[in-house]
Every structure is written in C-alpha cells, then in structure tokens.
Amino acid sequence: MGLIIIKFAPYKKKRTNHGFSAVSVSQEKKSAITALKIISPYLILTIFIFVSHLILPIKNFLESHMVIEIHSFSFTFSTLNSPGFWLFVTCLYTMVIFKIEKRIIWDSFKNTLKQWIPFVASTVAFVSTSEVMEKAGMTAVLANVAAMSFGSFFVVISPFIGGIGGFLTGSNTGSNAMFIKLQVKAAQQVGLPTDLIAYAQNTSSSHATMACPSRVMLGASICQLESEESNLLKRISLVVLGALVLLIFVLIGWMWG
C-alpha cells in the first residue's frame, strides 16, 4: 500500500484590498500628523508675526501695552509687537509640544548666551561709534565730501560703501549702524532719493556679509575645509561683487528707467 502524505500549509488570513487600503490610509494620516507637528512651530511663528503686524486692531493693542520707553535716549520698544517676543512664545510652545528635556533646554540656553554676548557687544560698539560720529559732526563732513566728490554718481558708489561695511563687520546691523546715516545725508546733499540709498546700503551690506573672513572661516571650520578657506573667500567675494554690480544696475534702472 502506498502512503499518502497530505501537507497542510499554515493558514494565512488574506487581506482584502479594502484592508490594505485602510492600513495605508491610517499610515498616511499618521505621517501627515507627524509632519504637521514638525512644522507647526514655524507656522505658528509666521501666523503670529503676520497677525500682529497686519491686523490693525491687534497691532494697535500690542503697540500700546508693555512698551519700554527711555525718554533721555529717545528710545521706545514695543515688547509685544516685536518679532523676538513671538519667537520666544514659539520656543515655549516647542518645548511643550515636543516634551524637550530640561537638560537640553539648559544646554541650548547656555550656548545661545555664549553666541549672544559677542553679538550684543559688537552691535553696541558699532552703534556707539555711529552716534559719536554723528554728534561730533564727522558724518556730516564725510557726507559733504562724498556729495562734492561724486554728485549724482553717488548712486553707483553707495552699494560699495554698504558692501565694505558688511565685509568688514560681518554684521548687517553693524554695517547699517556705521554707514546708513552717512549714506542718507550724502543722498540728501546730491538730491537722490534717501529711501532708495537706504535700501542700497541695507541690501549691499547683507550680501557682503557672506564674504566676511570670520564667517568664511567659521563655515570652513564647520565643514572641515580649513585648507580651502582662501579659495572659498575668493569665490564668495566674486559672488558678492557680482551681486553689488547687479544692484547698481537695478538702482540706475529704478532712477532713470
């Protein structure tokens, strides 16, 4: 007699297309919620800033509460309407929603403080120098010399002044503190639009900070490209120079176009 062996395969429950579809939809929903959670701090910060600046009743309310005023220095600071305040609120939200550990928060605070102190010190120095130049009449003298030397051609020189400031200081704030009064006074002397020259100062300065040697050195150090530092500086300087030339053409086209 022959022996018949019947082998039973292990039972597997077949999933219907509907089942797979349900699992897929569930995973997609979970991924969407996770992605929304990740970008939520940026969304909240953007919404806060737009609402606080574009909706007039809210803007007026924020500008009239918690305002710091120092009359002797003609200083006014609207705390609630400052982007920094909403950034602080967003940081608190991020700590709660992501349940960040106290140790990480404390380490981040210390690192931020280390970066903040040199920035504040340099900014105070630049602003103080600018105020001394203004009170001593140096800014007016330099503006007069620039106006007499270049005339309406000053519109071409203005971006290079801002660029030099950004290159030397590595800070758009510092460069503007040093040179924007000079630029505006020179523009007034030669009859150029002061707002246009102020824009040129700010734009050229912000572009030129990319080529600041200290910033290039920091970037090269982070990316472990110390040996390429001089080469990077040359290439970035060419990019900045091209941006300044392009800005000059924009200014000329704006004025005489």
- Neighbouring CB atoms inside 10 A of 203's CB total 20
| pLDDT digits (tens), the chain, 257 positions | 333 343 434 444 444 444 445 545 566 666 766 888 889 999 999 999 999 989 999 999 988 888 888 887 777 888 888 888 999 999 999 999 998 999 999 998 998 888 788 778 877 887 788 788 888 888 888 888 888 888 888 999 999 999 999 998 888 888 888 899 899 999 999 889 999 999 999 999 999 999 988 888 878 877 888 788 889 889 999 999 999 999 999 998 887 76
Residue 75, strand partner residues: 70
User: Is this prediction's pTM over 0.85?
Assistant: no
What's the DSSP call for residue 132?
H
Taking the C-alpha atoms of residue 239 and residue 133, their distance in angstroms, rounded to an integer, is: 32
Listed residue (112, 108, 118) closest to 214, CA to CA: 118
Q: Where are the domains of the chain?
A: 37-100, 121-256
